């Protein structure tokens, strides 16, 4: 069965476990980055964040307990108080002004946000037989690099991709850079994190060296982890659907291989795609779930309503206009 057919058969909105898929509403959109730029308010570029409401300007490792400090989560399962975030997409008009592109939730009732997957095996593998080790309290990581601007740089990271959506069920083909045509169903940004851990460090100075990709093959093919990073982790996949439909009307925006969208970092290529993760699951809830090796149900996890997800927010700590037509990207990042 092809991947698109399988997803459609399961239902786009059905939660799953061991392969688990769940929606998260927007927690906040602001220029903060407590992983890469802790304590800096505002940070260099704008992010969209989901998860627990302990998100803050600074979240020091070893001090900031996401589970203890959060009182709600914008995600479907109440046990998940983690934070996940990515850069924000903008439309750049011909007069040089910018408009933030809205996000489109895949789960009915969610407000914007993302869809999150945790997988023991490939998405299309309904058995999910593999044993993986859940992340530990204090674990954090970053995938991608906001400074990258060319394809060769982007090859340092696997499976950071875009899908030019024809409709809500489109899942192929995937591109490394921004699509260069108008996408009738919006643009999906996919962020897949590395799946091998050194088993020792919860973080590293660049937030990347403590994790790695399989030394051969891929996570989906069951490729082995390298000896330096022997612990197999679940794969996290973040799907963000950017609702670009309102910006598709001018064919000249897409003439001669061009396209009008830029990341909040100033990247007009798409090669800077990146995402951050701060683990914050309660107790051993994630490991228990992963050990279930199930595919559609999540019997060990507690589901909350989308109304409660939508209510979970954090205050605006930056205080800048991000929703009007802007003469510059937030932070004044130049487009390149």
Query: Which regions in the chain score pLDDT beneath 70?
Result: 1-17, 124-129, 293-297
pLDDT recorded at residue 12: 36
pLDDT recorded at residue 294: 59
Alpha helices per DSSP H over the chain: 3-10, 66-69, 151-154, 285-290, 306-311
Distance (Å, rounded) from C-alpha 46 to C-alpha 69? 24
pLDDT for 241-280, tens place per residue? 999 999 999 999 999 999 999 999 999 999 999 999 999 9
pLDDT recorded at residue 299: 84
Cis peptide before 173 (omega within 30 of 0): yes
pLDDT for 43-57, tens place per residue? 999 999 999 999 999
In the numeric block, which tokens belong to residue 180?
A: 């260069």
Name the DSSP class of 303: B
Q: Provide the whole-model pTM.
A: 0.93
pLDDT recorded at residue 126: 61
């Amino acid at each position: 069965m092809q991947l698109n057919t399988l997803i459609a058969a399961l239902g786009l909105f059905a939660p799953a476990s061991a392969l688990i898929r769940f929606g998260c509403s927007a927690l906040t959109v602001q220029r903060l980055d407590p992983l890469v730029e802790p304590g800096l308010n505002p940070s260099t570029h704008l992010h969209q964040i989901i998860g627990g409401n302990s998100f803050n300007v600074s979240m020091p490792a070893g001090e900031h307990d996401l589970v203890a400090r959060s009182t709600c989560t914008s995600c479907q399962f109440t046990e998940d108080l983690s934070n996940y975030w990515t850069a924000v997409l903008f439309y750049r008009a011909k007069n040089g002004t910018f408009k933030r592109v809205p996000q489109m939730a895949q789960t009915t009732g969610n407000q914007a946000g993302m869809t999150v997957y945790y997988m023991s095996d490939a998405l299309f593998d309904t058995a999910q037989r593999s044993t993986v080790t859940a992340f530990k309290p204090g674990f954090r990581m970053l995938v991608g690099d906001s400074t990258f601007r060319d394809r060769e740089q982007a090859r340092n990271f696997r499976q950071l991709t875009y899908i030019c959506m024809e409709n809500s069920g489109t899942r192929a083909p995937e591109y490394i850079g921004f699509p260069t045509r108008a996408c009738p169903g919006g643009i999906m940004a996919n962020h897949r994190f590395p799946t091998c851990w050194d088993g020792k460090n919860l973080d590293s100075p660049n937030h990347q060296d403590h994790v790695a990709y399989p030394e051969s093959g891929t996570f989906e093919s069951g490729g082995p982890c390298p000896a330096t990073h022997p612990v197999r982790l679940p794969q996290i996949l973040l799907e963000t659907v950017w609702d670009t439909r309102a910006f598709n009307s001018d064919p000249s925006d897409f003439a001669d291989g061009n396209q009008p969208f830029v990341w909040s970092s100033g990247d007009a290529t798409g090669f800077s795609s990146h995402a951050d993760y701060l683990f914050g699951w309660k107790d051993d809830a994630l490991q228990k779930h992963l050990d279930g090796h199930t595919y559609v149900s999540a019997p060990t996890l507690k589901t909350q309503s989308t109304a409660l997800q939508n209510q979970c927010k954090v205050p605006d700590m930056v205080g800048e206009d991000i929703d009007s037509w802007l003469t510059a990207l937030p932070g004044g990042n130049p487009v390149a």
